């Protein structure tokens, strides 16, 4: 059994701590005697109908694991979690299931019961998009991290250029390590974090596009320089010129941005400026927004369950009647598109609106960058 705080190859100075099984046992035990008030909020439990993968069922498996019972059944429970924190919004004690799950998955890996699919879900160091590098200013105090899941670096580069703010990028392949830690490969993830932290040492502000990476760096990594892309854009959106005509859009709260970091208002303000209209809300929104099934490797381990979750969320967003849904997570946007919804990650949507404005009358003049 893995006890105490897990550590990477070196003692990372900013790391607030990555709890092991012994650290989460008391909370997991508390959860396993709770009357499951959160059950309706868990997308995996709802999609699969399996009691063993409710938050309560997962924590029951985790308590058994802390007693030394780590089996294939433990793996089946603890890999049935997207890390969405939906249970946390409904949980009176406010338990943190993703932290319990990370600790348990590390123990499952150690015991040799991890699903083979986790290797592909662990992410990998990625080089920045050529367009981001081409527009970067070496040594600029603001450093932008797109994240390894984004294939839209060209759109992000266009949006950043439109703000007029000089930025730099990390010019070698990097990964923050969050996905590796999520799936139980704790040493790999912490090693990647250590490499990235060393490369960011001169940055004053680190703008992180993927909210999953942002939470890991800011909360788990203890890095106060980290700001999410939507929050950063909200402070610069008055520099952007968007088309005169409004467009009906819906907004999907990414789990790691909303429940993970409490960032709700800023992306709505940015989308409202770009669309010329307040974005529509799905029936479940803000801290009760439903997950798309994209998190913590769940879609790799149970693609059928993840597809049901994505289809459920896509239907909720389609019911708004908006022609396009905007979110701020490349993984969530991809899952919604796979479910048949027109869904765009925020940089892609903003880039399209900027391009549209360039072809016609803009609604507002962009102010000069300072
Ligand atoms: S996550 Fe919270 S509400 Fe859900 S079963 Fe555990 S203690 Fe109860
Ligand atoms: S974090 Fe999400 S998927 Fe995981 S147990 Fe809680 S509600 Fe279910």
pLDDT score for 161? 96
The structure tokens listed for 222 are 């203890």
Q: Please give the angle made by the CA atoms of 165, 348 and 256, to the nearest 5 degrees.
A: 85
Those residues whose C-beta lies under 8 Å from the C-beta of residue 325, and which sit 6 or more positions away, are: 249, 250, 251, 252, 317, 336, 341, 342, 343, 344
For the chain, the straight-line distance linking the first and the last C-alpha, in angstroms and rounded, comes to 55
85 lines ligand 2 (CB under 6 A): yes
Q: Do 279 and 322 form a contact (C-beta atoms < 8 A)? A: yes
291 lines ligand 1 (CB under 6 A): no
230 lines ligand 2 (CB under 6 A): no
80 lines ligand 2 (CB under 6 A): no
pLDDT score for 2? 36
Task: Give the pTM.
Answer: 0.92
Q: Rounded CA gap, 358 and 191, in Å? A: 44
Choose one of 28, 34, 83, 90 to mutate for the ligand 1 pocket test, by most ligand atoms within 8 angstroms of C-beta.
34
pLDDT tens for the chain, 370 residues long, are: 333 444 333 344 445 458 899 999 999 999 877 878 899 999 999 999 998 999 999 999 999 999 989 999 999 999 999 999 999 998 988 899 999 999 999 999 999 999 999 998 999 999 999 999 999 999 999 999 998 887 788 999 999 999 999 999 999 999 999 999 999 999 999 999 999 999 999 999 999 999 999 999 999 998 999 999 999 999 999 999 999 999 999 999 999 999 999 999 999 999 999 999 999 999 999 999 999 999 999 999 999 999 999 999 999 999 999 999 999 999 999 999 999 999 999 999 999 999 998 876 655 544 444 3
pLDDT score for 15? 54
Question: Residue 34 C-alpha to ligand 1 middle, in angstroms?
Answer: 6
pLDDT score for 230? 98
41 lines ligand 2 (CB under 6 A): yes
Q: Do 100 and 59 form a contact (C-beta atoms < 8 A)? A: yes
Choose one of 97, 100, 299 to mutate for the ligand 2 pocket test, by most ligand atoms within 8 angstroms of C-beta.
97
pLDDT score for 366? 47
Choose one of 29, 30, 31 to mutate for the ligand 1 pocket test, by most ligand atoms within 8 angstroms of C-beta.
31
81 lines ligand 2 (CB under 6 A): yes
297 lines ligand 2 (CB under 6 A): no
pLDDT score for 361? 60
Give the count of alpha carbons within 13 A of 202, CB side only. Answer: 9
């Amino acid at each position: 059994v893995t006890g105490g705080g897990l550590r990477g190859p070196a003692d990372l100075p900013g790391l607030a701590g990555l709890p092991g099984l012994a650290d989460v046992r008391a909370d997991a035990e508390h959860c396993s005697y709770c009357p499951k008030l959160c059950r309706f909020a868990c997308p995996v439990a709802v999609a699969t109908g399996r009691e063993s993968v409710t938050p309560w069922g997962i924590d029951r498996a985790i308590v058994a694991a802390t007693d030394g019972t780590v089996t294939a059944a433990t793996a089946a429970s603890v890999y049935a979690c997207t890390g969405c924190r939906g249970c946390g919004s409904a949980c009176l004690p406010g338990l943190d299931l993703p932290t319990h799950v990370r600790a348990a998955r590390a123990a499952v890996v150690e015991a040799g019961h991890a699903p083979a699919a986790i290797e592909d879900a662990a992410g990998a160091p990625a080089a920045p998009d050529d367009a981001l590098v081409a527009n970067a200013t070496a040594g600029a105090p603001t450093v932008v991290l797109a994240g390894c899941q984004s294939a839209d670096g060209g759109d992000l580069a266009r949006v950043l250029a439109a703000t007029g703010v000089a930025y730099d990028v990390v010019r070698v392949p990097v990964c923050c390590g969050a996905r590796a830690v999520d799936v139980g490969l704790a040493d790999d993830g912490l090693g990647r974090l250590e490499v990235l932290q060393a490369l960011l040492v001169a940055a004053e502000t680190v703008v992180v596009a993927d909210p999953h990476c942002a939470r890991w760096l800011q909360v788990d990594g203890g890095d106060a320089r980290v700001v999410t892309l939507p929050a950063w854009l909200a402070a610069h959106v008055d520099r952007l010129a968007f088309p005169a005509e409004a467009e009906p859009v819906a907004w999907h709260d990414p789990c790691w941005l909303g429940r993970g970091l409490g960032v709700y208002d800023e992306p709505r303000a940015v989308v409202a400026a770009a669309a010329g209209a307040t974005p529509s809300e799905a029936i479940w929104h803000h801290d009760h927004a439903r997950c798309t099934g994209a998190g913590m490797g769940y879609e790799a381990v149970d693609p059928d369950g993840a597809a049901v979750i994505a289809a459920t969320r896509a239907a909720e967003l389609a019911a708004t009647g908006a022609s396009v849904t905007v979110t701020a997570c490349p993984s969530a946007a991809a899952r919604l598109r796979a479910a048949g919804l027109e869904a765009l990650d925020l940089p892609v949507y903003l880039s399209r609106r900027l391009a549209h404005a360039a072809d016609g009358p803009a609604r507002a003049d962009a102010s000069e960058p300072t």
